[in-house]
């Protein structure tokens, strides 16, 4: 029995050492110099889930959207929020990319955030509303009339973030994320992020590459967010999220597919699994 416990503790120490190479989110990891029994992540999706679905979080995300310049989709979501809150009040359980990013950022207080698929900056605004000094990096093609809606570009997004009181650095990279994201990491010394959102190319191949490109650069204890997990127009994303993240022993995940387009988020427990 002692030899088995010694073996487990040895492997956990190795995990902790590996995690330190990439870096950890200090506020969501625990390591002990006396010996590491658990993986470093301190809080998993359950901790964040309670915050994400609270009516106060839904109302907070709603308030941010109302401060931004709206398009037809945002106006629809605002009406959807108002209808849910009016009909079900504090019993309404709902989550989407807005409430996920708003609630996680409130708890995690990320210092660094990477986003693939910026468009009008709504998701990014949710993050900086709760973490105003957070440094953000966004990747987008800035396709005009994306999904039939106006897509004004980088300067528009900067103005939107200013409305929310963002005080941190904001960097935007134009081009195909399948190319620009790897180049971004190659040009820097192993950058790592507290929070990452993948909401860009919705083809199965493109979304897979985006996930695979960013996962090595998410800190241990950090959170990965993935949008549209039950969007009827992109059915393959459900299985892709499950295959790449939900079934990955290095993550603990939660997926909300009850209503809306669905959203998944996962906490990185370690750099590589014990499996």
- pLDDT band at residue 5 using 50, 70 and 90 as cut-offs: very low
pLDDT at 84 over 60: yes
CA distance 265 to 21: 23
- pLDDT band at residue 12 using 50, 70 and 90 as cut-offs: low
pLDDT at 246 over 90: yes
- Going from the C-alpha of 116 to that of each of 138, 211, 258, the distances in angstroms are 6, 10, 24
Assigned token pair, 132: 């105003």
More reliable by pLDDT, 181 or 4: 181
Question: In the chain, what are the domains?
Answer: 2-268 (3.40.50.150)
pLDDT digits (tens, 9 = 90+) for 165-208: 999 999 999 999 999 999 999 999 889 999 999 999 999 999 99
pLDDT at 161 over 70: yes
pLDDT digits (tens, 9 = 90+) for 17-72: 444 445 899 999 998 888 889 999 999 999 999 899 899 999 999 999 999 999 99
SS3 231: coil
């Amino acid at each position: 029995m002692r030899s088995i416990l010694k073996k487990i503790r040895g492997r956990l120490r190795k995990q902790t050492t590996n995690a330190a190479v990439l870096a950890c989110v200090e506020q969501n990891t625990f390591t002990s110099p006396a010996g590491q029994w658990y993986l470093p992540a301190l809080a998993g999706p359950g901790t964040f889930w309670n915050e994400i679905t609270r009516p106060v979080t839904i109302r907070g995300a709603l308030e941010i959207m109302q401060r931004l310049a709206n398009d037809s989709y945002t106006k629809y979501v605002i009406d959807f929020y108002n209808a849910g809150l009016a009909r079900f009040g504090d019993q309404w359980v709902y989550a989407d990319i807005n409430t996920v990013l708003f609630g996680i950022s409130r708890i995690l207080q990320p210092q660094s955030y990477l986003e693939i698929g910026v468009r009008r900056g709504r998701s990014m605004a949710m993050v900086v509303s709760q973490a105003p000094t957070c440094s953000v990096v966004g990747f987008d093609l800035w396709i005009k009339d994306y999904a039939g809606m106006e897509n004004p570009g980088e300067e528009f997004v900067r103005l939107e973030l200013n409305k929310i009181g963002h005080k941190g650095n904001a960097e935007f990279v134009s081009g195909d994320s399948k190319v620009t994201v790897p180049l971004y990491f190659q040009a820097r010394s192993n950058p790592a992020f507290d929070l990452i959102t993948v909401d860009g190319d919705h083809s199965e191949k493109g979304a897979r590459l985006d996930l695979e490109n960013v996962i090595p650069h998410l800190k241990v204890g950090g959170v990965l967010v993935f949008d549209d997990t039950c969007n009827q127009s992109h059915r393959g994303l459900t299985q892709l999220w499950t295959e790449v993240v939900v079934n990955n022993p290095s993550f603990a995940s939660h997926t909300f597919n009850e209503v809306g387009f669905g959203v998944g988020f996962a906490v990185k427990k370690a750099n590589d699994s014990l499996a």
